[in-house]
Amino acid sequence: MRGRRVFLPALSFVLPLALSIAACKREPDFDERYDAANTKVRQTAQEIDARIAGTGTPPDETR
């Protein structure tokens, strides 16, 4: 029974400490955010270009 009395207070101290340390992450800096956004924009542009290329050239409607 004595072991249980020591274990619970220790657990109530260690568990929140471990969770708070695990939750801390470094935020990406400007260059990392820029690179991620640039990659996403390029991928989206390639997808749009592929869709446009798949539709063919529209007929000339001026005639």
pLDDT at 7: 66
Integer Cα distance of 61 and 63 in angstroms? 6
CA distance 9 to 7: 6
- Specify the pLDDT at position 32: 96
Q: What's the pLDDT band for 62 if we cut at 50, 70, 90?
A: low
Place of tokens 């956004």: 37
State the DSSP code for 61: T
Helix (H) or strand (E) holding 45: helix 30-55
> What is the per-residue pLDDT across 4-26, written as a single tens digit (0 to 9) for each?
666 667 777 777 877 777 777 78
pLDDT score, position 51? 93
Give the pLDDT confidence of 22-56 residue by residue, as tens digits: 777 788 899 999 999 999 999 999 999 999 988 87
Residue 62 is given by DSSP the state T
Q: Is-contact 28 36, C-beta < 8 A?
A: yes
